[in-house]
Amino acid sequence: MTDDPAQLRRTLAAAIPVEDSAWRDALEAVPRELFLDDTVFRPSGTQWEPVHRHTTGDDEWLRLVYQDTTWVTQIDGTAAADAPGPLAGRPTSSSTLPSLIVRMLDLARIREDDKVLEIGTGTGYSTAILCHRVGDKNVYSIEYDPHLAAAAADHIHAAGYSPTLITGDGLAGHQDAADYDAIVATCAVRHIPPAWLYQVRDGGTITTTISGWMLASGLIRLTVHDDGTATGHFAGDQIGYMLARPHERPPRPTYYQHPGNTRPARLDPGLLDDWTGQFLAQLAAPSAELMTTGDGVILVDVATGSQAWTEPAGNGWQVHQHGPLHLWDAVEDALTIWQAAGAPPQSEFGMTVGADGTQRVWLGEPDGPAWCLPV
């Protein structure tokens, strides 16, 4: 007997905790299978393997579709359906796991009849969920990739929804329909684009993930104030989205270690394995990439070529630093402040966007220790 998609949707929705039960209703109503076409990627070692509906069979395909997981649909611009076989590369589009979609919408406190701008249409699944909650006329969704945008439009219309869909740079928002009650981004950003602030009504919200070139993330809801500033606290969720393409890391030459100044490390580089520890390292060295080895960590600054790497030394660690930026010094200073405060979780951090355009992530209170985002 073929699995019943409606029952699979009900089972999925029942397993996802939400504060606003309307999001559970939306999960039960929107058929996710319409948004995945017939092929997705799944990880296979260091590559991404295409999985086809015609090889798995309809029942197994529906069970995959209704797992609470993210299904990658594009690798470096190649759609899963077009892949000749397993591919190496970075995901550039996906169908986000349903629990994360409704978690962000729940966190944004979106209510019936709110006007919402979604940054990143993707497959269109989250757009359809929004439409079910607030109505088609209140949903505006913008997608950077024209091929994804066209496919998403087909998916959304097949599901019976008709929001306003825009193809363009989501970081510029969509001024034509401003002001919005809420902006929700299904991609991560290194800083809040000024256009988003201008397009949200006073008292409206921006819900997004702050990320960077170390791929650390923090989920936050900001409230926009009438003086052009915005403030908010990070949630404790350990989630991440792909960076918006204009905020992606630039190409970096092959890494070669260079001789540098050596000193004992004050902290164990294993602190960067902690979700909040890595986020702090990224705040302290925002233009650096992070690599890990069996012997420690490597930081490489994309802008200046500066390097830092750690290695065991006796019962502790030592660090080598090369170039104009002392990357490990900055990271250690941030981690030391965090540890002195008791190593609190990310929910103890907040963010302020100033009227002068500065964007600061702070610990504890707005006047506490702070790090500026690369605006």
Instruction: Tell me how far apart the terminal alpha carbons of the chain are, to the nearest angstrom.
Output: 56
How large is the C-alpha radius of gyration of the chain? 22
Q: Quickly tell me which residue has 């030394």 as its tokens.
A: 313
Please enumerate in sequence order all residues whose Cβ is within 8 A of that of 174, keeping only pairs 6 or more positions apart, or say none.
117, 140, 142, 166, 168, 199
Neighbours of 271 (CB within 10 A): 19
Which residues in 192-216 are b (16+ Cβ under 10 Å) and which e?
Answer: bbbbbbebbeeebbbbbbbbbbbeb
Q: What is the DSSP string of 239-257?
A: ---PBPGGGSPPP-PPP--
Please enumerate in sequence order all residues whose Cβ is within 8 A of that of 290, keeping only pairs 6 or more positions apart, or say none.
213, 214, 215, 272, 278, 281, 282, 297, 298, 299
CA-CA distance, 204 to 289, in Å (whole number)?
34
CA-CA distance, 12 to 23, in Å (whole number)?
12
Q: φ and ψ at 202, to 5 degrees?
A: -60, 125
Contact 86, 44 (CB under 8 A): yes
CA-CA distance, 171 to 246, in Å (whole number)?
8
Neighbours of 7 (CB within 10 A): 12
Tokens of residue 356, six digits: 């002068």
CB under 8 A, 24+ apart: contacts of 218-224:
218/279, 218/346, 218/349, 218/361, 219/104, 219/107, 220/351, 221/107, 221/108, 221/109, 222/192, 222/351, 222/353, 224/197, 224/200
Residues labelled as active-site residues: 94
